[in-house]
Each structure stands twice: as C-alpha cells, then as structure tokens.
Amino acid sequence: MADQDLPQIYLTTPPEFDLGSFPAKLETVLQGAEIACLRLSLATHDEDRLTRAADAIRDVAHRADVALVIDTHVVLAKRLGLDGVHLLDGARTVRNARKELGPDAIVGAYCGQSRHDGMSAGENGADYVSFGPVSGSLGDGELAGHELFEWWSQMIEVPVVAEGNVTLDQVKTLSPVTDFFAIGEEIWATDDPLATLNSLIAAMR
C-alpha cells in the first residue's frame, strides 16, 4: 500500500446460511465493526436460493452503507440490483463483467497465486484482485505467500485482497502488504463472530 493505513475488512457470507437467523447475525457484525464490502458467497448455484439469500441480506448491507457483491453471477448481480460481482476465474471474464455491469459496478477477481492473472485482471478493468489461500490446506495445497503480496503492493496500484483461511498470524504478517482481508468462515464458525472479527482487526495494529 502507498500509505500505512490499516487494511480494510471485506466480509464474506458463509457458504450456507439460514435465511431466518443469519441477517440478524450479519447486522450485529456490520454495526459493530467497519466493513468495506460484503460478498454473497454461497456454495449453491441455484438461482432461486441465491436470489432469496441476496434479498435477505441486501437491506441489511445497505442500511449499514456497505456494498454487496455476489460470487460469479453477473446476470444476478444486474437483475437484483447488487453493487457488483466477484469473479472466481481469474482474468477470464473481467472484461465481459465490466461491459455487462457498467463502469460504476464493483468487479473483482480471485486469481489464486498467479501474478500474471492478477495483472491481466487489473488491465481488463478489475477494481481489485484477491490472492489466496494465505494459509491452511484449502484447494490444491498451494498458498499465496507474503512475497506475492509484498511484490504486488510495491509494483501494482490495483488494490489487493488476502483471503482463504486468514489466521491471526497471517493478519499480523500481511497487514503491511495488503489492502483488504476477506473474512468469512473464520468468524461465522465461531460462537461470537463480532468478537472474533474484532480480535483479527486488533492484530493488524
């Protein structure tokens, strides 16, 4: 990052949640911590379930003045009046998403551990790129390491997001070299999501 501001929190939903109870839990977190953006990140590809989930949390997000984006589904983002889309295929569909959603929408791209994909996504119009996972055994075992974020923060102006099993140690290590942390199951799987999130935020300092 160009300055020493702390990274911001990019909140993601659990891969599955109860439409009756989750919005209230989400509201507690949005009211209790400063959140830059919220991503609807469900495991399902069922459009009806995605639509109902988006409807359930959109008002909660917008009451808190937090933008809401959705994984992958450019058509649903447009149809449901969401603020943008988070693409999971690197740079491949960034240009199309930007064309479909217009210049004001948020278009982000997950690029795994690939500098090349990240740079291509930025050149194609992505507002941010995300790299991950930063720890653990998610995916194929490959990790996005400190040196990737350090290089990106020094060389590239497009904001970068660290995601995928973000631990307290990773927050401490990566805070100087990332613009955002994507936090989801790291807090939702705990008894007190807001307290867990605030402990992660405290570790940035």
- Please tell me whether residue 154 adopts helix, strand or coil conformation: helix
| pLDDT tens digits in sequence order for the chain, 205 residues long | 333 589 999 999 999 999 999 999 999 999 999 999 999 999 999 999 999 999 999 999 999 999 999 999 999 999 999 999 999 999 999 999 999 999 999 999 999 999 999 999 999 999 999 999 999 865 567 999 999 999 999 999 999 999 999 999 999 999 999 999 999 999 999 999 999 999 999 999 9
* Maximum separation of any 2 CA atoms in the chain, in Å: 45
**pTM confidence score:** 0.95
Q: List, in order of start, the domains of the chain with CATH numbers.
A: 8-202 (3.20.20.70)
